[in-house]
Chains A and B, each alone.
Chain A
Amino acid sequence: MKRFILKRLALMIVTLIGLSVVVFIVSRVAPGDPAKLAAGPDATEEMVQVIREEFGLDRPLVIQYTIYMKGLIQGDFGRSIRTRHLVWDDLKNFMPATFELVFVSISFSILFGILFGILSAVYRDTWMDHVIRFFTITGVAVPMFWLGIMLQLLFSAKVHLFPLGGRLDTMVLPPPARTHFFLIDSLLAGDWGTFANGFHHILLPAFVLSFPALASITRINRAEMLEVLHKDFVLNEKAQGISDRLIIFKYALKNALIPTLSMIGLRYGWMLGGTILVETVFNWPGIGNYAVGAAVYSDFQPVMAVTIILGLNFMIANLLVDLGYGFLDPRVKYE
């Protein structure tokens, strides 16, 4: 077990280095000239040259990469060529918002995905099953950003039920920072008003971000539950007089969760990618929004940093998923 984790961590570092190489190559081989873009349309060749030197863009690729990696190891993601901010400083500002949103969304989709999957399987072919299946089928197909816009149109513009975007109302001060998750910090500070405000703000974006994942998880958990409920061991459990509740929520569910878990891992990746869209729609001050802002201006350091941060997050999630298999299935052996 310990060896497995260590091995996976080592592999993760290798993959991360590979990722940084890929992203780096893409950024430097690209035809666009970031220095020119940053200098603006009226800049003279000298001004562009100054920027190039400042950001080391005039040096050989290998040297550029070594410098970049050296910085990366020390947590230095370079500077934004557009704003001249240290990327790490920006990340520190924006990351908590993203992770709070993602955390709420993934919890929501796991919880309700599993629940709806069970209900849909147990009450197969009833109206509830049909309703749930309709949402699972459309859920994967609906463009996240469009769903967000439509919900804004309905619930923010037509009926003023939810705010249009942001993490808090402009008049509300963020709670004293401890975890940087507003929902948790406001609770820690005992500030119910801020908590309610933050909760009100996160509901729509979290719902939109979790929707496709919720649909996928529901769908696979339904299919797996249906399959497991027809297994021999369930028949035996029934014949032994074990209650339906115990059979469904304990004996069948644990079996069904094994494939569902891998779907959760996969959809977590979608969700991380989806932050780009949802944060743009809801003006959520996270790193997805930040990356989009930078990408539009070919400001590469921030995009690269966000890619690596979210990539790392996804890799850790995958490791957790693999450990989760061992928790669910005693037949799994870690080597």
Chain B
Amino acid sequence: MHSGISMASTWNRWKKERESQIRDLALTFYTLRRSPLSVIGLTLVGLFLLVALIGPWIITHPGDIKGAVHIDQKLKPPSRAHLFGTDEVGRDMYSRVVMGTRLSLQIGLIIIFVAMGIGVPLGILAGYTGGWVNHLIMRITDIFLSVPGLLLALAIVGALGPGIKNAMVALSIVWWPGYVRLIQAKTLALREEAFIEAARSVGASKLRIIFSHILPNCTSPIIVKASMDMGMAILFAANLGFIGVGAQPPVPEWGSMISTGRNYLPDFWWMATFPGLAILVTVLGFNLLGDGLRDVLDPQSRGQIR
């Protein structure tokens, strides 16, 4: 009983402390709701997350994920038994596409978090320290940004060898410089702000300023970028899967499924069509959501490139 009361009071205190943030969040959702495209984006992303979450329970042929072979069932068109048809060895495409959702979510999350883990600290370091540290970090960032991302990823996977893990490593290496650029610019701007100046003048330590002033003010652009990047990272992973250096069959990755399905065109069109639609819908969802979030959270950057 006692702990219940204290929990309630802690909750209330927490709620009071966070009042403004909670209001911001409510406002965010309110504004998002008013833009139909954002609602579509939110719905698609919600659907994607739901399918990723409950995937194992809604698939019809669990064995087909791991690479079961049913030659007698091969290349069957979409039907009641196989919603999206079957592939060249008789695996159920529907089950594989659904499980590809979960894989894509993992791929996207891992790439984004690794990229953020490298990019955000480096960006803050560069922006806040300035001087030669800034120069060095930004020059290195420029090198990575000087070459088209997909190409660099291809080069890295080419060296590491094909495979889904290597593809994720490669894409993480390609992705972090974008976060450095974003956060460095933001930190540079924040450093000149009056409230940071004030914190400095009352003797707040560097770390304190970074954690309680700079980082919180970077969250909005980070969230916006991360939302957009989720879609793009999934797309890039599929790109690598398609050209044969990413996920390898029978891993149910959308890109590599399309790559296989392509050999069975035009008669067995479903093999390449459904995984592609899955990519399209997913990336579309994250892009629309990211757009909507940007309009709400970071309206100044609207005209800019993300």
CB of B156 within 8 A of chain A? yes
User: For window 122-162 of chain A, which residues contact chain B by CB distance below 8 Å?
Assistant: 137-138, 140-146, 149-150, 152-153, 157-158
Q: How far is the CB of B200 from chain A (nearest CB, A)?
A: 30
Q: Per-residue CB proximity of B264-306 to A under 8 Å, as 1/0?
A: 0110010011011001100110011000000000000011110
A27–B154 contact, CB under 8 A?
no
A315 to B157, CA, bound (A): 23
Tell me if B160 and A295 are in contact (CB < 8 A): no
Question: Is B22 in contact with chain A by the CB < 8 A criterion?
Answer: no
B159 in contact (CB, < 8 A): yes
Q: Quick check: B158 and A295 within 8 Å, CB to CB?
A: yes
Of B146, B149, B156, the contact of A19 (CB 8 Å cutoff): B146
- Alpha-carbon separation in the docked complex, A292 to B240 (Å): 10
For residue B302, which residues in chain A have a CB less than 8 angstroms away from its CB?
A: 223
B295 → chain A, closest Cβ, in Å?
11
State A23–B155 Cα separation when bound (angstroms). Answer: 7
**A307 with B152: CB separation less than 8 A:** yes
Asked if residues B154 and A291 are in contact (CB atoms below 8 Å), the reply is yes
Report A-chain residues with C-beta under 8 Å of the C-beta of B161.
Answer: 30-32, 298
- Are B148 and A270 neighbours in the complex by a CB distance under 8 Å? yes
- Residues B155 and A304 in contact, CB atoms below 8 Å apart: yes
- Min Cβ gap A279→B in Å is 10
Residues of B within 8 A of A150 (CB): 272-273, 276
B156, B245, B288, B302 interface centre (most CB from chain A within 10 Å):
B156
Q: Determine whether B258 belongs to the interface, using a CB cutoff of 8 Å to chain A.
A: yes
Contacts of A299 in B (CB 8 A): 158
**Of B11-19, B82-90, B106-114, B231-239, the one touching chain A:** B231-239
Count contacts on B: residues with CB < 8 A to the other chain: 50
Q: A310: which of B148, B239, B245, B273 is its contact (CB, 8 Å)?
A: B148
- A12 to B161, alpha carbons, bound, how many Å? 30
CB neighbours (8 Å) of B146 from chain A are 15-16, 19, 311, 314-315, 318
Contact of B158 among A227, A263, A294 (CB under 8 A): A294
In whole angstroms, what is the CA distance A280 to B266 when docked? 17
Contact across chains for A273 and B276 when beta carbons are under 8 A apart: no
Interface string of B147-170 (1 = CB under 8 A from A): 111111011111111100000000
Q: Given the complex of chains A and B, what is the CA–CA distance between A15 and B287 in angstroms?
A: 31
With a CB–CB cut-off of 8 A, which chain A residues contact B275?
A: 146
Cβ contact within 8 Å between B245 and A295: yes
Given contacts A26-B155, A137-B284, contact A19 B143 (CB under 8 A): yes
Chain A residues near B266 (CB-CB < 8 A):
153, 157-158
B142 contacts chain A at the CB level, 8 A cutoff:
yes
**Interchain CB contact (< 8 A) of A298 among B158, B238, B265:** B158
B159 closest partner in A (C-beta): A30
Q: Are B265 and A153 in contact (CB under 8 A)?
A: yes
Taking A149-B262, A291-B151, A310-B148 as contacts, is the C-beta distance between A141 and B158 under 8 angstroms? no
Q: Check A141–B245 contact: CB distance below 8 A.
A: no
The minimal Cβ–Cβ distance linking A276 to chain B, given in whole angstroms, is 6
Q: Chain B: which residue is nearest A23 at the CB level?
A: B155
In Å, the complex CA distance between A149 and B243 comes to: 13
Assembly CA distance A83 to B231 (angstroms)? 37
Whose C-beta in chain B lies nearest to the C-beta of A219?
B291
Nearest-CB residue, chain B, relative to A143:
B279
Query: Which residues of A311-333 have CB atoms within 8 Å of chain B's CB atoms?
Result: 311, 314-315, 318
A317–B304 Cα distance when bound, in Å, is 19
Q: Give A252 to B155 CA distance when docked, in angstroms.
A: 42
Q: Which residues of A contact B159 (CB under 8 A)?
A: 26-27, 29-30, 32, 298, 300, 303
Is A259 located at the chain interface by the 8 A CB criterion? yes
| A318 vs B142: C-alpha distance when bound (angstroms) | 12
Contact of A303 with B155 at beta-carbon distance under 8 Å, contacts A223-B303, A272-B148 already known:
yes
The 0/1 profile, CB within 8 Å of A marked 1, for residues 210-229 of chain B is: 00000000000000000000
Contacts of A149 in B (CB 8 A): 258, 262, 265, 272, 276
The 8 closest A-B pairs by CB, nearest first: A273-B150, A295-B158, A157-B266, A273-B148, A146-B276, A311-B147, A30-B159, A18-B143
Q: What are 26 A-B residue pairs whose CB atoms fall within 8 Å in the complex?
A: A15-B143, A23-B155, A27-B158, A30-B161, A31-B161, A32-B160, A137-B284, A138-B284, A140-B287, A141-B231, A142-B283, A145-B239, A146-B275, A149-B258, A224-B303, A259-B304, A270-B148, A271-B148, A272-B151, A276-B154, A291-B154, A294-B158, A295-B158, A295-B243, A307-B155, A318-B146
B interface residues with partner A (beta carbon < 8 Å): 37, 139-140, 142-144, 146-152, 154-162, 231, 235, 238-239, 242-245, 255, 258, 262, 265-266, 269, 272-273, 275-276, 279-280, 283-284, 287-288, 302-305
Q: Which residues of A contact B (CB under 8 A)?
A: 14-16, 18-19, 22-23, 26-27, 29-32, 137-138, 140-146, 149-150, 152-153, 157-158, 220, 223-224, 227, 259, 262-263, 266, 269-274, 276-277, 280-281, 291-292, 294-296, 298-300, 303-304, 306-307, 310-311, 314-315, 318
- If A141-B280, A227-B303 are given as contacts, then 20 extra A-B residue pairs at C-beta distance below 8 Å, sorted by A number, are A15-B139, A15-B142, A23-B155, A27-B155, A30-B160, A138-B280, A140-B283, A143-B238, A143-B280, A145-B239, A145-B255, A153-B265, A158-B266, A270-B150, A277-B150, A280-B243, A292-B154, A296-B244, A307-B155, A311-B147
